[in-house]
């Protein structure tokens, strides 16, 4: 069996972000822990509506990954509870790749049922991959290079690509990778939109949970699937209200109404929970990074030298110290953590506002105004953009800070004129491998290339690295990306979660590839 286990990602990075958890420090607050539930209902929350339906061929955001992770399964996944990325079987029990990384063969798991009762067999692979290609959403690039899918009986399949791809296994295991759907359900509910409308309120997966409620902007729910092929989950129901105020979310958690807060806690709350022994807190390894984007299509930012001057004006050390206490460090590479060995893709930081001060002094007053945007679901980036506002204002710019919902942000892809001049966002690659980051972020057709910046040098270097996974071309791509002045990695960030102390299995339920999410079937009460 040939498996690329991301050795390059593991080198050196385990020392940077290590798997850790603790129940809080006795030096701070405390009190009697909230009692464990007896009804086998897990209470979670979204700080913002997912913004996209829980359809794995459409969904490509952060809020809501919890749904697709637990409703659907792919052929492979990355192990939970590990401080590095390591592949493991899921709906495929064995998997091999040809020496040229073009032909991939899988033995499929027997005894699996889809949620509509259809038995899982090899015909579901082609139906699911074809459907992803037809929907043509952000993650469709993972299947666009498939030349053929052939079956060997009910439980064998071979996928042949048009060109070599050393990261194909990683893409299949990705949190956004192809998920296998019931071919019967797709045919029955396909309609004229390949079942996209149906999958806004239903699911066709094999996961441990089924979708029971999907009220946009209000509430989501899941229930355990009684015929699930794996171990029976402890929690029979999952309740997920949308709570748009972070303080209200924390209050419900403190009162025991929520079992865990998975993401988007502001830095002030992080410090509070770290110092409170009443709750458990976890700082878990993840591929998350906080990037600054600059829009090359607007105003003064059309000039590469000006973009670079703006980046150099930003005091990254100050941003990290004031925002990511205890859970992050200054971004060392142009890639998020766990994607490329630390010797490659290094980011060169130069804090020097003098160039921007000179540029701003030569501009008319009506050309000095810029807007900095942030995702309203992320309180940290509101703080970061406020700090950047102050730093750029000191250099002579007039700066406005504005929040945008996730759904609007994805609308900027291919339409950068609708976006602000500068954008701060929490991001991660589709999989712990460098091509998935470089392609989605830097290529002209990348799914999170929000502000339409690209470079032929970047695209060429990424294409050079893909056939065999050699790290140097990816390192060259990172250097070329920094040259554009469009991207700055502010911080590499741990996945910080706070939970009631009776919730067990959090570390095992967390995978480095799936930020802001847990595999709920691994959780229990103890």
Domain-embedded: residue 29: no
**Secondary structure tally for the chain: helices H, strands E:** 16, 22
DSSP-derived secondary structure letter, 188? H
**Within-domain flag for 58:** yes
Inform me whether the pLDDT recorded for 82 exceeds 60.
yes
> What number of other Cβ atoms are within 10 A of residue 232's Cβ?
11
Confidence (pLDDT) at 232: 97
Spatial contact of 363 and 397, defined as CB atoms under 8 Å apart: no
Answer yes or no: is 16 within a domain.
no
pLDDT of 254 reads 97
Are residue 335 and residue 437 in the same domain, yes or no?
Answer: yes
Q: Are residues 263 and 377 in the same domain?
A: no
Q: Hey, what are 253's tokens?
A: 């958690």
Residue 95 has pLDDT above 70, yes or no: yes
- 343, part of any domain: yes
Please state, in angstroms and rounded to a whole number, the distance separating the CA atoms of residues 401 and 397: 13
pLDDT of residue 393: 98
Pairing of strands 487-493, 328-330: antiparallel
Is the per-residue pLDDT at 20 higher than 50?
A: no
- 8 A C-beta contact, residue 203 and residue 46: no
Residue 31 lies in a domain: no
What is the rounded CA–CA span in Å between residue 441 and residue 487?
Answer: 9
**Is residue 85, in this structure, part of any structural domain at all?**
yes
Among 513, 505, 511, 514, smallest CA distance to 259 is for: 505
pLDDT at site 126? 98
What pLDDT digit, counting tens, does each position of 35-50 carry?
A: 999 999 999 999 989 9
Do residues 150 and 226 share a domain?
A: yes
Beta-carbon contacts of 210 under 8 Å, excluding residues fewer than 6 positions away, are 71, 115, 203, 222, 223, 224, 225
pLDDT at residue 4, rounded to an integer: 29
Residue 514 has pLDDT above 90, yes or no: yes
pLDDT for the residue 22: 52
Judge whether 524 and 234 are in contact, CB under 8 Å.
yes
Task: Kindly state the average pLDDT of the residues 358-384.
Answer: 94
Task: Say which CATH number the domain at 360 has.
Answer: 3.10.105.10
How many Å apart are CA 79 and CA 509, to the nearest integer?
A: 9
Yes or no: say if 450 and 487 are a contact pair by the CB < 8 Å rule. no
* Cβ neighbours, 10 Å, residue 195: 23
Residues 136, 278: one domain?
yes
Same domain, 506 and 399: no
Condensed to tens digits (0 to 9), the pLDDT of residues 262-313 reads 988 988 899 899 999 999 999 999 999 999 999 999 999 999 999 999 999 9
Is residue 13 within 8 Å of residue 264, measured between CB atoms? no
Reply yes or no on whether the pLDDT at 30 is more than 80. no
Specify whether 66 is located in the same domain as 191. Answer: yes
- Please count the structural domains in the chain: 2
With pLDDT > 90 as the criterion, what percentage of the chain qualifies? 89
Are residues 148 and 232 located together in one domain of the fold? yes
Structure confidence by residue, pLDDT tens digits, 112-164: 999 999 999 999 999 999 999 999 999 999 999 999 999 999 999 999 999 99
pLDDT one-digit tens code per residue, 444-492: 999 999 999 999 999 999 999 999 999 999 999 999 999 999 999 999 9
Poorest-confidence range of 16-25, 95-104, 175-184, 409-418? 16-25
Rounded CA-CA distance 502/40 in Å is: 13
CB 505 within 8 A of CB 260: no
279 and 321 co-located in one domain: no
pLDDT at residue 325, rounded to an integer: 79
pLDDT in tens, 336-349: 999 999 999 999 99
Range of the domain at 436: 289-493
> How many alpha carbons lie under 13 Å from residue 493 in its C-beta half-sphere?
29
For the whole model, what pTM was predicted?
0.89
Would the pLDDT of 415 be above 90?
Answer: yes
Q: Are 497 and 515 in contact (CB under 8 A)?
A: no
Q: Are residues 439 and 294 in the same domain?
A: yes
In this structure, is the dihedral angle defined by the CA atoms of residues 125, 79, 203 and 439, taken in order, positive or negative? negative
SS (H, E, C) 18-45: CCEEECCCCCCECCCCCCCCCCCEEECC
pLDDT band at 327 (very low <50, low <70, confident <90, very high): confident
Residue with tokens 């809080």: 24
CA distance 311 to 522: 42
Q: Please give the backbone phi and psi of residue 497, each rounded to the nearest 5 degrees, phi first.
A: -130, 150
434-442 and 456-465 helices, crossing angle to 10°: 160
Residue 4, in any domain of the structure = no
pLDDT tops 70 at residue 13: no
> What pLDDT, on a 0 to 100 scale, did the predictor assign at position 11?
32
Q: Both 367 and 514 in a single domain?
A: no
pLDDT tens across 215-243, in order? 999 999 999 999 999 999 999 999 999 99
How far is 380 from 322, CA to CA, in rounded Å? 10
**Over the chain, what is the mean pLDDT?**
93
Same domain? 195 vs 150: yes
For 354, the enclosing helix (H) or strand (E) is helix 354-361
Q: Looking at residue 113, which CATH number applies to its domain?
A: 3.40.190.10
- Do 135 and 242 fall into the same domain? yes
Rounded-to-integer distance, Cα 470 and Cα 344, Å: 11
Instruction: Establish if 170 belongs to a structural domain.
Output: yes
């Amino acid at each position: 069996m040939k498996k690329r286990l991301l050795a390059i990602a593991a080198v050196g990075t385990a020392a940077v972000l290590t798997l850790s958890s603790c129940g809080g420090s006795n030096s701070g607050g405390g009190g009697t822990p909230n009692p464990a539930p007896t009804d086998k209902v897990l209470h979670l929350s979204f700080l913002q509506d997912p913004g996209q339906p829980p359809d794995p061929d459409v969904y490509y955001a952060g809020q809501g990954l919890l749904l697709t992770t637990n409703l659907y399964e792919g052929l492979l996944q990355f192990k939970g509870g590990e401080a590095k990325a390591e592949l493991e079987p899921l709906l495929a029990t064995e998997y091999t790749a040809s020496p040229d990384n073009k032909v991939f063969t899988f033995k499929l798991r027997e005894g699996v049922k889809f949620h509509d009762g259809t038995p899982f067999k090899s015909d579901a692979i082609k139906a699911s991959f074809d459907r992803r290609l037809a929907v043509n959403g952000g993650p469709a690039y993972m299947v666009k290079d498939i030349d053929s899918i052939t079956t060997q009986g009910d439980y064998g399949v071979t996928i042949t690509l048009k060109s070599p791809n050393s990261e194909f296994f990683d893409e299949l295991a990705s949190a956004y990778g192809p998920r296998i759907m019931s071919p019967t359900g797709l045919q029955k509910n396909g309609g004229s939109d390949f079942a996209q409308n149906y999958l806004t309120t239903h699911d066709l997966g094999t996961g441990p949970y089924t979708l029971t409620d999907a009220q946009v902007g209000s509430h989501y729910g899941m229930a355990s699937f009684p015929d699930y092929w794996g171990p029976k989950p402890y929690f029979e129901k999952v309740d997920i209200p949308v709570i748009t105020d972070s303080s209200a979310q924390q209050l419900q958690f403190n009162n025991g109404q929520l079992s865990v807060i998975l993401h988007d806690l502001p830095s002030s709350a992080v410090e509070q929970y770290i110092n409170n022994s009443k709750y458990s807190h976890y700082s878990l390894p993840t591929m998350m990074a906080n990037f600054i984007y600059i829009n090359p299509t607007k105003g003064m930012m059309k000039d590469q030298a000006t973009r670079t001057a703006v980046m150099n004006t930003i005091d990254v050390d100050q941003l990290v110290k004031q925002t990511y206490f205890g859970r992050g460090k200054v971004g060392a590479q142009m890639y998020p953590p766990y994607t490329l060995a630390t010797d490659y893709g290094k980011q060169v930081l130069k804090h020097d506002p003098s160039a921007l001060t000179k540029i701003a002094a030569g501009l008319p007053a009506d050309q000095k105004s810029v807007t900095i945007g942030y995702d309203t679901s992320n309180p940290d980036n509101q703080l970061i953009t406020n700090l950047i506002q102050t730093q750029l204002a000191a250099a002579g710019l007039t700066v406005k800070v504005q929040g945008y919902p996730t759904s609007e942000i994805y609308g900027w892809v291919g339409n950068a004129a609708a976006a602000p001049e500068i954008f701060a966002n929490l991001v991660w690659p589709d999989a712990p491998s460098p091509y998935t980051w470089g392609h989605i972020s830097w290529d002209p057709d990348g799914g999170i290339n929000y502000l339409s910046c690209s470079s032929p040098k970047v695209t060429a270097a990424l294409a050079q690295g893909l056939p065999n996974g050699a790290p140097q071309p990816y390192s060259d791509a990172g250097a070329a990306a920094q040259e554009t002045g469009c991207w700055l990695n502010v911080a590499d960030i741990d996945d910080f979660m706070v939970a009631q102390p009776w919730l067990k299995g959090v570390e095992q339920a967390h995978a480095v590839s799936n930020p802001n999410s847990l595999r709920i079937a691994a959780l229990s009460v103890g």
